[in-house]
Amino acid sequence: MSARTLNLSLAAASLAAIVAACFLGSTPLPPARLLAALFGMGDAGDTIVVWAIRLPRAIAAFVVGAALGASGAALQGLLRNPLAEPGVLGVSASAALTATVTLHFGLAAAFAWALPIAAVTGALAATALLAAAAIRTASIVTLILIGVALSSFAGALMALLTNLAPNPFTLADMVAWMLGSVANRSFADIALALPFLGGGVALLFATRRGLSALTLGEEAAAGAGLDLARQRLAVVAGAGLATGGAVALAGAIGFVGIVAPHLVRARVGHDPAATLLPASLLAGLFLVAADIGVRLIPGDGELKLGVVAALVGAPLFALIAARRRTGDG
C-alpha cells in the first residue's frame, strides 16, 4: 500500500467513524433521518441532536486524536525514538494540571480562554523542559524518567486540588480533565481549542523535512544543512501547542501518540516525515472509535475516553519498549 492510499483510506475510515458516532445516543436516529439532519434538511429536533451534541463530540475526539498523533510522531522524529509521546513524557499531565488549576479557581468559568491558554502554557513548559534536557542527554530513558516525574508531580497536585475542590461540580469537572473525555463538547469548545490545535499541527507539518534529516542523528543532520536550533524550537512549540490544545478540549489522554505512529511507520518506509499524516489520521480515527466504545460499554457512569485509550495504549507501549534491542536510546 502506498503512503497515498494509506492516507486516503485512513481519511475515509475517519469520516465513516464520525458519521457512525452520530448514530449513537439516547434518541435512536435511523440512517435517513441522520443524513437529513447532517445536511440540515431534517426536523429541528434531529438537527439539534446531531449538530449540537453528537457531531461536535465525534469531531472533538477526532481533532484531539489527530493533534496527539501528530505530536507523538513529531516528538519521536525529533528524539529519534518510538517511545516518545506527549503522555509518556508528562506533557499531557502538565497541561491537565494547569487546566485543572483554572477550573479549581473558577477562572475557566469567568473567562472562556483561560482554560485553553493555561493548558497550552503547561504543555509548552513541559516540552521546553524536555527539549532542554534532550540537548544534554541522548538517552530517551532520562527523558521518560523526567516525564514520569512531571506526570507524578502534576498528578499529586491535581489530587490535592480535587481534595480542596470548592464544590462537587468543580470536582467532577477536574476529574473529567484528569481522565480525559469528550462528552458534552460543543462546537464553541472546539473553536476555543482549534487555534492552538491547528497552529501546533501546522507547525509540526512545516518541520517534517527536518524530521527526516534527523534520522541521521543531530550531528549529521546539522551537517546536511538542518538548522538544528530552529527545528528543535519548532517541534517543541508545535507539540506543546497541539498537546495543550488537545488537553484543553478533552483533558489528558495518553498513549494515542505512541500507538498510531507505531502502527503506520513500517507502511511509509519508516520516514518520520511520511509518518506524520497517517499517524495523525489514525490517532483521530482511534479516538473516535474509542469514544464509540465508551458509549457502548454498559455501566452506570460513562467510562472516560482517556481510560479506554490507556487500556489499549499502555500494553502496546510496554510491548514496543520490551522489543527494542538496545537497552538505552
Q: Which of 192, 273, 282, 303 binds another protein (CB under 8 A)?
A: 273
| Contact assessment for residue 46 and residue 29, using Cβ atoms and an 8 Å cutoff | yes
Q: Mask: binding to another protein, 240-269, rule CB under 8 A, as x and -?
A: -------------------------x---x
Tell me the closest approach of the beta carbon of residue 157 to another protein, in angstroms.
Answer: 34
271 binds another protein (CB under 8 A): yes
Q: Measuring CA to CA, which residue among 154, 156, 174, 146 is closest to residue 94? A: 154
| Contact assessment for residue 300 and residue 293, using Cβ atoms and an 8 Å cutoff | no
Question: Judged by CB under 8 A, which stretch of 119-127, 146-154, 172-180, 272-280 contacts another protein?
Answer: 272-280
The whole-angstrom separation of Cα 185 and Cα 215 is 39
User: What is the sign, positive or negative, of the torsion defined by CA atoms of 166, 158, 117, 168?
Assistant: negative
222 binds another protein (CB under 8 A): yes
| Contact assessment for residue 136 and residue 79, using Cβ atoms and an 8 Å cutoff | no
Tell me the closest approach of the beta carbon of residue 311 to another protein, in angstroms.
Answer: 28
272 binds another protein (CB under 8 A): yes
Phi, psi for residue 227 in degrees, rounded to 5: -85, 95
Q: Residue 15 CB: number of other CB atoms within 10 A?
A: 13
Tell me the closest approach of the beta carbon of residue 262 to another protein, in angstroms.
Answer: 12
Identify which of residues 6 and 114 has a Cβ nearer to another protein in the complex: 6
C-alpha grid cell for residue 267?
507502511
C-alpha grid cell for residue 311?
487500556
Identify which of residues 5 and 152 has a Cβ nearer to another protein in the complex: 5
- Could you tell me how many residues of this chain bind another protein (CB under 8 A)? 27
215 binds another protein (CB under 8 A): yes
Q: Which of 225, 298, 301, 327 binds another protein (CB under 8 A)?
A: 225
Residue 71: alpha-carbon gap to chain centroid: 7
Q: Which of 19, 35, 36, 216 binds another protein (CB under 8 A)?
A: 216
Interacting positions 50-89 with another protein (CB under 8 A): 80-81
Contacts 24+ apart (CB under 8 A), 212-221: 212/77, 212/271, 212/272, 212/273, 214/77, 214/78, 214/80, 214/272, 215/80, 215/271, 215/272, 217/80
Question: Judged by CB under 8 A, which stretch of 28-36, 180-188, 208-216, 248-256 contacts another protein?
Answer: 208-216
| Contact assessment for residue 262 and residue 72, using Cβ atoms and an 8 Å cutoff | no
> How many residues are given for the chain?
329
321 binds another protein (CB under 8 A): no
| Contact assessment for residue 177 and residue 251, using Cβ atoms and an 8 Å cutoff | yes
Identify which of residues 161 and 281 has a Cβ nearer to another protein in the complex: 281
Q: Which of 40, 219, 301, 323 binds another protein (CB under 8 A)?
A: 219
162 binds another protein (CB under 8 A): no
Contacts with another protein, residue ranges (CB under 8 A)? 3, 80-81, 208-209, 212-217, 219-227, 265, 269-274
